[in-house]
Every structure is written in structure tokens, then in C-alpha cells.
A and B are shown apart, each in its own frame.
Chain A
Amino acid sequence: MFPANFAYVAARSIEEALQLMAKHGEEGKLLAGGHSLIPAMKLRLQSPQTLIDLGTVPGLRGVRVEGKDLVIGALTVHADVAASDLVRKHVAGLSDAASVIGDMQVRNRGTIGGSVAHADPAADLPVILTALNASFVVQSSSGNRTIAADDFFTDFYTTAMDANEILTEIHVPIPAPGSGTAYAKLPHPASGYVVVSAGALITRQPSGACVSARVSIGGLGSGPIRAIATEMELQGKPLTPQIIAAAAAKAAEETDPVDDSYAGAEYKRHVATVYARKAIEAAVERTAV
């Protein structure tokens, strides 16, 4: 089908977009790549009265280094995040994740900011960005604030952003030397969405012992879940296959996923440990200089 009728405004600046959001309130919706919004509107699951196009605002695309962070504009499409030399060099796990979203056509339109703000529980980027300890810059009429990924994804399709805020940048700390990052995903065979996935950021000393680990699991809850028990098992230990396996086995601890049309709860909890192991092993391999 096609969407119900709506008004369209091409914003020329963030400030104009914020004014339009204030004017239209709940009946206004931001448009980025449109590859979650437009499918929903075509099925009439959503029928906003006004679409405010952020795609026409200049300056929101691109990947750059700023101090100790990689900074990615919110309107950068997944294909460009995946192909970015800076992303592949510093946080290859983000390139992994961006390159398995949807399909090639979707990756040519869908944006990192749109994906993060939409907070689909079956999305890839929230999982890897949580593992990477990313933070999100959001702008309102009273200024900017920064929200850490750990605090951002609060519920299904729900974030810590206020209704009057626009996500403008994603900041990813460049990991310390001796670090490796990776993302491993079990996709739904038809839709390509996450059934279970895992993102890992592992840092180790030259001697080989793990200095720090961040492991994030997707598909087990309303958003990404940090596998704290797994992280604690790795901390300070040599990163042997046995230790990695033992740590990954704890990846689903304290989780309570639902039985749904994707998979049963016990299956999801088990497969989470498998994909945690895959992600950790791949990240560890990348720590080799």
C-alpha cells in the first residue's frame, strides 16, 4: 500500500527542524533514511501528519576523528559506515555490524542516527555501539547533551531522548592499543533482522592478558544487554579458547527472553552464548598487532 496523506517539510537546518518539531508536536515525525518509517507508514502502522526531512539538512553526514573519538554524523548511511577506512581501522566491529543490516539497497539509505533513535530491539547498531561504549549527541533548542549508549536504549523502540531532541552525532571512543572489536549475528533467514547477536570490544596487554572486555548481546530483551558476567570472567585472564568459551557460556545469565515467532527462549539463551564466543574470538584475533 502507500502511506496515508501527510504534509512534508524539507528542513534546512537543525534549528529549523527543532522549530518544526515544537510546532507539530506528536503529529510530526523526523525523516532520515526512511527505511524503518516508510515501511511502517506503507502498512499504516504509523500515520504522522507531518514529516520533517532531516535528509535535506547539510553537515550531518561523514566520519571523522575528533580528539580520541570517531565522530559519525547521524545521517551517514550504513553503507558508508561499513566502508569507511576510519571505521574499519579503529572499530572494525562497527563495520561488521553496518555491513549486515538488511540488504545492500537498505544500507544505501538507512542511517546510523535513524537506526539508533528508532531503537528497534532486533537492530544491529544498538548492540555494537553499546559494546563500543559509544555516546550520542542530541540537540534541543536549549543546547546539546551527550548520552552514553549504556543509558540510551531504555525499552522497545524507546530511548533516553526527549521528544524535543534530535540526534546529530555518534561518538565512538577509539579503543586503546591492543584492542579488537567484532560483531557476530544470527539473522532471521527471511527478514535479516537479529535473532541473536553479540558485539565485543576486547583490550589486552602485550603479554596477552585481558585488560578490559565489553560484550553486548542483542535479541534477548528490549534492547542490547551487557553480558557483565562474561566480561568479568575475561577480566585479567589470558584469552585462551577455553577461557573465552567459559566466559561466553555466561552471556545469557540474568536474561529472560520471550518465546516468539523468531525462536524459543531457551534457544535464544543458548545461541547467545555461541555468538558471544564468536564475537569475542573475532575481537581477540583483531588484537594481534
Chain B
Amino acid sequence: MTAEVQYAAIPISVMVNGVKQDAVVEPRRLLVYFLREQLNLTGTHIGCDTSQCGACTVHLNGRAVKSCTVLAVQAHGAQVTTIEGLGSGDVFHPVQEGFREKHGLQCGYCTPGMIMTAVHLLETNPNPSDDEIKHALEGNLCRCTGYVNIIESIKWAANKMREARK
């Protein structure tokens, strides 16, 4: 067994939920661990080891991505939004409201990821059909709800967001 080689830590600067975060990270540091452990933003969850479950979904430069499959160094210079960055204070984002109104969660573990994916979907498709919602959620797994109320929550939110734009 060879001796542990030291690899250079990399300085990064990431805009997280509107706040500039400067840090030094190991190259192998996954974005999800950087957010959870170095920034204490534990709303983003780790639910698998295979990039399938989507509980780790955040926005990277405006797009929903699986933060467990992105290196923190790849986020250097980028904007990241986590679940904590939606809404402000006591004011929920409409998608968060939808999950409350339509009972879109049980244990809540998949929920931040579901919400982040839904927010990206609604930003690009403000009036999605059920099929379009299901297609968009293929990367987010839920073991509790059977997905029905998740879809209803997203539709409720889409409706509220369209009404607000009138």
C-alpha cells in the first residue's frame, strides 16, 4: 500500500443563496457535502449512492442538478440555490406552499429535492401537464407518497404562479 499522497486543496468562490462563500476544498469534495458540512445548509439531503434519488437536487446557475454528482470545485464561480434559498423568512415560495396545501410530503426526506426540481420545471414550463411533471420528476424518488400528491402540489403551485402573473 503506497503512502497517502497529499493533493492540493483548491480555493473556490461560490455564490450560495445570494451570499458569497469563499472556501478551500479537497478536489474530491462533492458539492452536496460542501453545502451540508461546510456551509451548514442541511436542507439538501443525501438519499443514495448512485445519483438516482435526487434528494440532493439544488440549482447550479439556474438549473436543477444533483449536487452529489458535482464536485465543489466545479461550482467555483457559479451561483447555487438550495432549498434554504427559496422564499424569504416566513414567506414561502409558491412551490413550498403547494406542498403544504396539497400534502405533498410525509417523511419529508425527498421533499427539498422535489421542490428544487419543480421550481426549475415551472420556470421553464409554467403550465405543465401531468405527464410533463412526471417526466421532469424522473430524477426524484419518493418512498412514502406514491407521487400523487407531489404532482398535485406542483400543479397547485403552477396555478398560483400563473395567477400571480396576471
Contact = CB atoms under 8 A, between A and B. Distances in A.
Question: Does B bind A?
Answer: yes
B128 to A, nearest CB: 12
A27 B97 CA distance: 49
B50 A106 contact: no
Interface in B2-46: 4-5, 7-8, 10, 26-30, 33
Given A6-B28, A104-B120, A53 B63 contact: no
Interface in A230-244: none
A192 B54 CA distance: 14
Contacts of B27: 5-8, 51
Contact of A8 (B65, B73, B121): B73
Contacts of B69: 34-35, 38-39, 42, 106, 109
Contact of B50 (A4, A39, A104, A109): A39
B70 interface: yes
Interface in A13-51: 31, 34-35, 38-39, 41-43, 49, 51
A3 B68 CA distance: 11
Contacts of A39: 50-51, 69
A254 to B, nearest CB: 34
B117 A5 contact: no
A102 B52 CA distance: 9
A105 interface: yes
B64 A105 contact: yes
Given A4-B28, A8-B10, A104 B117 contact: yes
A126 B26 CA distance: 34
B139 interface: yes
Nearest to B76: A10
Given A39-B50, A42-B49, A5 B7 contact: yes
Contact of A2 (B8, B30, B60, B136): B30
A190 B29 CA distance: 27
Interface in B109-166: 117, 120-121, 135-140
A55 interface: yes
Interface class of chain A by DSSP: loop
A192 B138 contact: yes
Interface class of chain B by DSSP: mixed
A106 B73 contact: no
Contacts of A192: 138
A55 B74 contact: yes
B71 A104 contact: no
A78 to B, nearest CB: 12
Contacts of B64: 104-105, 108
B57 interface: yes
A105 B66 contact: yes
Given A103-B139, A105-B139, A5 B74 contact: no
A10 B76 CA distance: 10
Given A2-B30, A38-B69, A39-B69, A105 B49 contact: no
Contact of A34 (B10, B49, B74, B121): B74
Contacts of B73: 8, 10, 53
B28 A43 contact: no
Nearest to B26: A5
Contacts of A8: 7, 10, 27, 71, 73
17 contacts: A2-B28, A4-B28, A7-B7, A34-B70, A38-B30, A39-B69, A42-B69, A43-B50, A53-B74, A102-B139, A104-B121, A104-B137, A105-B57, A105-B117, A106-B66, A106-B69, A192-B138
Interface of B: 4-5, 7-8, 10, 26-30, 33, 49-52, 54, 57, 60, 63-66, 68-71, 73-74, 76, 117, 120-121, 135-140
Given A8-B10, A109-B69, A191-B52, 7 more contacts: A5-B28, A39-B69, A42-B30, A105-B64, A105-B65, A108-B60, A109-B66
